[in-house]
């Protein structure tokens, strides 16, 4: 999924679930920032907030904070070849395996294959929702909201990335990739790509309006993934499940009634073709004019280093916990 879903749709869902605009913005920003937190070197922070002191990612000798890299850009093709990067970035944040790593034999057998709405990622969501609800009235909910947004990204990706693995795996080896263009199936060939994630499908799994299909290049029938996909339907299903969790976190009970009130407008946003996530954002704005949509990937880091807020630190501390729970279990 891209920014049009991870930011715009998530913010719409958060507002409709009952979060105020400021809290919904935090949730949506954290969700999208999973794709934008690419810093992989320590950053000098001579005067960190007190809660950062003593954290494993902060080095008091060098007075630096080492953020968690949750995504790769530009050189991602090269970096992603290494198994360490696959486990720490792709598997930990974008291709959550179906089962908890306590069932390690099962996970190995399935090559860390992602399944939509899997058992493991539901545990992560339930925990994140529980942390939001556990904050006492008048307490600081920002850290828990950031964690909820971050985990929502991983949860949503299980729909888009179902059937693929974040590791180098034969389950990622596909053939006969075709895209439905105006009712005509057209073959797509992106040249050689490594069998990591959905590289061989390019961005087909992440485009909200796309209908596409493929075959597995081999006998990978145990995956049982949908190999002809209408992304709008898949993303609507993901949206409904995320909305249910957000409603629980916000203390709302009339989930189906709330969903019925905006489901049609949400589908319109998802099914409207656009190759530009920012253009799709404005499509959403037309259907949800009361919801302000604005995202800048540099805001949190700049604000944290200038001591305007601590969101960036909270994001990376939550990412540290999630990566440790998944990559090193």
* pLDDT tens for each residue of 251-303: 999 999 999 999 999 999 999 987 777 778 888 989 999 999 999 999 999 99
Cα(160)–Cα(210) distance, integer angstroms: 11
Cα(166)–Cα(164) distance, integer angstroms: 7
* 17 domain residue, yes or no: yes
* 78 domain residue, yes or no: yes
CB atoms within 10 A of CB 181: 11
Average pLDDT over residues 127-153: 96
pLDDT at 107: 46
* 308 domain residue, yes or no: yes
Q: Give yes or no for residue 80 having a pLDDT over 90.
A: no
* 211 domain residue, yes or no: no
pLDDT at 293: 94
Burial 288-324 (b: 16+ CB within 10 A, else e): beebebebeeebbbeebbeeeebbbbbbbbbbbebbe
Q: How far is CA 177 from CA 1, 200, 233, in A?
A: 18, 9, 19
- How many independent structural domains does the chain possess? 1
* DSSP assignment string, 167-222: SB-GGG-EEEEEEEETTEEEE-------SBTTGGGTTGGG-TT-EEEEEESSS-GG
Task: List the structure tokens of 50.
Answer: 């007190």
What is the overall mean pLDDT for the chain?
A: 89
Distant-in-sequence, close-in-space partners of 82: CB < 8 Å, separation ≥ 6: none
Instruction: Identify the domain containing residue 304 by its residue range.
Output: 3-158+231-327
Reported as a pLDDT band with limits 50, 70 and 90, residue 75 is very low
Query: Could you tell me which residue, 225 or 132, shows the higher pLDDT?
Result: 132
41-54 pLDDT, tens digit each: 999 999 999 999 99
Cα(254)–Cα(216) distance, integer angstroms: 41
Among 10-14, 146-150, 172-176, 228-232, the minimum mean pLDDT is found in: 172-176
Average pLDDT over residues 226-233: 91
pLDDT at 149: 98
* 169 domain residue, yes or no: no
154-195 pLDDT, tens digit each: 999 999 999 899 988 888 888 899 999 888 999 987 767 888
* 195 domain residue, yes or no: no
Cα(294)–Cα(145) distance, integer angstroms: 18
* 56 domain residue, yes or no: yes
Percent of the residues in the chain that have a pLDDT greater than 90, as a whole number: 70
Reported as a pLDDT band with limits 50, 70 and 90, residue 108 is very low
* 73 domain residue, yes or no: yes
């Amino acid at each position: 999924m891209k920014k049009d879903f991870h930011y715009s749709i998530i913010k719409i869902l958060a507002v409709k679930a009952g979060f105020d605009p400021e809290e919904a913005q935090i949730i949506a920003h954290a969700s999208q920032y999973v794709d934008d937190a690419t810093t992989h070197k320590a950053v000098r922070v001579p005067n960190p907030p007190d809660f950062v002191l003593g954290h494993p990612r902060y080095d008091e000798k060098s007075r630096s904070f080492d953020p968690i890299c949750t995504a790769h850009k530009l050189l991602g093709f090269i970096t992603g070849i290494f198994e360490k990067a696959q486990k720490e970035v792709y598997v930990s944040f974008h291709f959550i395996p179906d089962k908890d790593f306590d069932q390690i034999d099962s996970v190995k057998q399935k090559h860390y294959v992602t399944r939509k709405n899997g058992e493991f990622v539901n545990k992560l969501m339930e925990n994140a929702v529980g942390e939001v609800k556990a904050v006492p009235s008048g307490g600081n909910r920002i850290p828990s909201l950031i964690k909820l947004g971050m985990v929502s990204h991983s949860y949503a990706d299980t729909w888009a990335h179902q059937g693929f693995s974040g590791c180098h795996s034969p389950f990622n080896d596909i053939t006969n990739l075709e895209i439905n263009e105006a009712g005509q199936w057209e073959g797509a060939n992106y040249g050689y790509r490594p069998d990591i994630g959905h590289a061989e499908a390019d961005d087909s799994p992440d485009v909200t309006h796309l209908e596409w299909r493929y075959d597995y290049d081999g006998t990978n029938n145990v995956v049982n993934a949908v190999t002809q996909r209408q992304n709008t339907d898949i993303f609507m299903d993901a949206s409904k499940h995320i909305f249910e969790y957000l409603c629980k976190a916000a203390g709302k009970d009339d989930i189906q009634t709330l969903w019925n009130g905006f489901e049609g407008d949400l589908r319109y946003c998802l099914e409207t073709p656009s190759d530009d996530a920012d253009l799709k954002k404005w499509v959403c704005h037309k259907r949800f004019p009361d919801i302000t949509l604005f995202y800048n990937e540099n805001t949190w880091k700049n604000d944290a280093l200038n001591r305007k807020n601590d969101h960036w630190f909270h994001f990376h501390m939550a990412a540290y916990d999630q990566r440790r729970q998944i990559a090193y279990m």
